[in-house]
Amino acid sequence: MIETLRSAILGGEFAPGERLHEVKLTARLGVSRTPVRSALQKLASEGLLDYAPNRGYAMRDFPVDEIISAYEVRAVLEGLAARLATERGLTAVHRALLERALADGDQLLAGGALSPVDRGVYRDVNSTIHETIHAAAGSRMLADMVRLCQHVPVSSPRNVVAFEVRDVRRRHDDHHRIVEAILSRESWRAEMLMRDHVASVKTSLIRSLTGSSTAEAAPVDGRASV
């Protein structure tokens, strides 16, 4: 149920500032108020919703310039994480997690089409790859700084916005190349590949959110096609 609501939010079904009423969502989703309330609390903790006492939950507005800044910093930090993970080497656990996530992504894309349910599957694949590399870097300060960037929720690998097959396939091909470089102990290549990967995700995301080929600083329309 939380994935259904997350997909609706990221899919632009609610306008910026629009209130999300528990009763209306209960009727829409066909569930009781308890799981709806729990889902709203979770999505607010992820930064997708604003909460105000006595007013409840409302859609956040995401300025494009804020998203751009978060991705630019993320590109540098995650590139460093990939380099450190390469230099320090992967543990057997880290390697197994990455290989499993890559295989799951391959299987997801094998059918040539994606459904709304697949968004949650790919979110897990994407977040596992990025978070495993962060962990393998072995730097608590670096991990904390990456999490700070992810306070801009659209920049978090747990929130997949651009979900066309071509976008997902391109990102997952990047994942394969990054992991290959890490396993080959090519630290410089791993860093550059990760930086390019995050930068390319930023470009496709901004394009999808603004309906434009340029990433100009302007308010994001919550109803934009993604």
Cβ 60 vs Cβ 20: under 8 Å? no
pLDDT at residue number 151: 65
Which tokens in the block code for residue 141? Answer: 């300060």
Q: Using alpha carbons, select from 198, 159, 170 the residue that is nearest to residue 80.
A: 198
Residue written as tokens 């604003």? Answer: 50
* Pairing relationship of beta strands 19-20 and 49-52 according to DSSP bridges: unpaired
Residue 58 main-chain phi, psi, to 5 deg: -145, 155
The tens-digit pLDDT sequence of the chain (226 residues) is: 777 887 777 666 787 788 998 888 998 888 888 999 999 998 888 777 889 988 899 988 777 787 788 889 999 999 999 999 999 999 999 999 999 999 999 999 998 899 888 988 998 999 999 999 999 999 999 998 988 887 665 666 766 766 789 889 999 999 999 999 999 999 999 999 999 999 988 887 777 656 544 433 333 333 332 3
pLDDT at residue number 12: 64
pLDDT at residue number 185: 97
CA geometry: angle 191, 92, 96, nearest 5 deg: 80
pLDDT at residue number 213: 42
pLDDT at residue number 211: 57
Dist. CA 162–CA 10, nearest whole Å: 9
Q: What is the DSSP letter of 219?
A: B
